[in-house]
Amino acid sequence: MTINYRAEVDKRKDAMMEDLFSLLRINSERDDSKADKEHPFGPGPVKALEHFLAMAERDGYKTRNIDNYAGDFEFGQGDEVLGIFAHLDVVPAGSGWDTDPYEPTIKDGKLYARGSSDDKGPTMAAYYALKIIKELGLPTSKKVRFIVGTDEESGWGDMDYYFANNGLKDPDFGFAPDAEFPIINGEKGNITEYLHFAGENSGAFKLLSFTGGLRENMVPESATAVFTSDSNLADLQEKLNAFVAEEPVTAELSDDKGQFSLTVYGKSAHGMSPFAGINGATFLAKFLNQFDFDGAAKDYLRIAGEVLHEDFYAKNLGLAIVDEKMGELTMNAGVFAFDAASEDNTIALNFRYPQGTDAQTLKAGLDKLQGPSKVSLSEHEHTPHYVPMEDELVSTLLAVYERQTGLKGHEQIIGGGTFGRLLKRGVAFGAMFPGYTNTMHQANEFADVEDLYRAAAIYAEAIYELIK
């Protein structure tokens, strides 16, 4: 039986896009200020989860909501289980959008919305792929479990809870539609480490606060410092104008009765590719370093503006490492929080590291820094993950990709972390194609509409090849 999967997708294009639009309209950013027992990551992720499960029930699946952390449904028959892991949460929209990030807009074939490429668009492509198999009544020898999480962009608390409380055996193998084609069969390790500083400071300049960054896995698009000074606004503005003329940033400076507020604007990017962004926080610190700060503030600004500034590979920290298969370690200085009244101010450093090092080795290097009072580690660490090319999961997915596209498949290893690594035999598969413009975690995030349809066809054939 020969199936034209692309033709089957085309029959459902309008319905797929309608369902995707309804999901994209839900602001599913994590909001800890509104988190409670019923909303572990805030109301937005729960709303998206409930919406998705209602859609699945509409289509005839028996769904489960695992205490608003995650949800799933199953399809097919058999002892072995293919897991499809997607996520419904998104990173904060931030500023700089040309459209409303939560009102999907198609322009020149591109679908603009927060989550369009990461990960609601690919999630819907995979969902409709399974829907095709179900509606065609194709026979299966294995089950599919479609699992959606609500905390992928932060601490993966959703999957920790899901695996501990869902009551079923883990899937035997699986993929996450949350990266790119032809396949991601290797992922670097991922750990966030925190530099801690005291807050008391004095001098001709006194730092009252320094804030920047929305998530540890995002390059800070902007940062703001509030400080007092014996200088005047005109002198500071002149120095700022000269700085901005030489650097790829913009800035705003104001004075409120001797209390200055300075914001520097850069460009956000995904934390796995810090070199693709412009870190507003480290540029802000670089500018402030020329002034007479003292104490903890001086250390904080020196570390941020000199040591960490554009140190994407942690060379200044003495932590640079390159692995032949997995490539180089990268570091994103992602979240900055300084308050003069606090005794515990932090800089969050998100490391994506290859084989050959580990979190404790990185910490030992950071412990040597002069200035921070201590170094601590995130509770959540992902060690390097790799599924060999000869694994049947990898070879099957690549064969389908090659048939559908006419392009040669090959392995890829990334610094990003996907739910593919939740299983020993787990990978990321699509939905972005070679040569795509990566706008994940950035303003004006988009997915190419035609690429979503192409991905759905690939997913449909791939799922069926794995479970037939």
The token pair that represents 268 in the structure block: 């956000």
Per the structure, the count of domains in the chain is 2
Assess whether 274 and 406 both reside in one domain. Answer: no
Distances (CA, A) of 108 to 105, 111, 384, 444, 449: 10, 9, 39, 14, 9
Q: Is 292 one of the annotated active-site residues of the chain?
A: no
Domain final residue pick, 333, 366, 381: 381
Q: What is the pTM of this model?
A: 0.84
Domain final residue pick, 366, 381, 396: 381
For 371, left (φ over 0), alpha (ψ -120 to 50), or beta?
left
- Give the CATH number for residue 370: 3.30.70.360
CA–CA gap between residue 156 and residue 160 (Å, rounded): 6
Supply the pLDDT for residue 439. Answer: 93
Assess whether 74 and 118 both reside in one domain. Answer: yes
Burial of 394 (0-12, 13-18, 19+ CB in 10 A): buried
Provide the residue range defining the domain that includes 57.
5-188+384-467
Domain final residue pick, 381, 411, 428: 381
Q: Is 152 one of the annotated active-site residues of the chain?
A: yes
Supply the pLDDT for residue 371. Answer: 95
Residue spans of alpha helices (H) in 371-421 = 392-405
Assess whether 361 and 388 both reside in one domain. Answer: no
Supply the pLDDT for residue 379. Answer: 87
Assess whether 369 and 419 both reside in one domain. Answer: no
CA–CA gap between residue 124 and residue 333 (Å, rounded): 32
Q: What count of other Cβ atoms lies within 10 Å of the Cβ of residue 438?
A: 16
Helix, coil or strand: residue 254: strand
Assess whether 181 and 81 both reside in one domain. Answer: yes
Assess whether 232 and 366 both reside in one domain. Answer: yes
CA–CA gap between residue 23 and residue 17 (Å, rounded): 10
Assess whether 132 and 280 both reside in one domain. Answer: no
Assess whether 207 and 321 both reside in one domain. Answer: yes
- Residue 207 and residue 229 in contact, taking contact as beta carbons nearer than 8 Å: no
Q: Per-block average pLDDT, block size 10, for the chain (468 residues)?
A: 94 98 98 97 98 98 98 96 98 95 98 98 98 97 98 94 97 97 97 95 94 94 96 96 98 94 96 96 98 96 98 97 95 98 96 96 97 94 94 98 97 92 97 94 96 98 98
Burial of 58 (0-12, 13-18, 19+ CB in 10 A): exposed
Assess whether 275 and 354 both reside in one domain. Answer: yes
Active-site residue, selected from the candidate residues 29, 72, 89, 158: 89
Burial of 1 (0-12, 13-18, 19+ CB in 10 A): exposed
Helix, coil or strand: residue 457: helix
Supply the pLDDT for residue 367. Answer: 97
C-alpha of 428 from chain center = 14
Q: In the 3-class helix/strand/coil scheme, how is 277-334 assigned residue by residue?
A: CECHHHHHHHHHCCCCCCHHHHHHHHHHHHHCCCCCCCCCCCCCCEECCCEECEEEEE
- Give the CATH number for residue 417: 3.40.630.10
Q: How far apart are the first and last CA of the chain?
A: 12
Assess whether 320 and 254 both reside in one domain. Answer: yes
Assess whether 64 and 165 both reside in one domain. Answer: yes
- Residue 171 and residue 83 in contact, taking contact as beta carbons nearer than 8 Å: yes
Assess whether 22 and 139 both reside in one domain. Answer: yes
Active-site residue, selected from the candidate residues 119, 151, 152, 153: 152
The token pair that represents 174 in the structure block: 């699986």
Strand order in the sheet with 186-187: 385-386, 186-187, 413-414
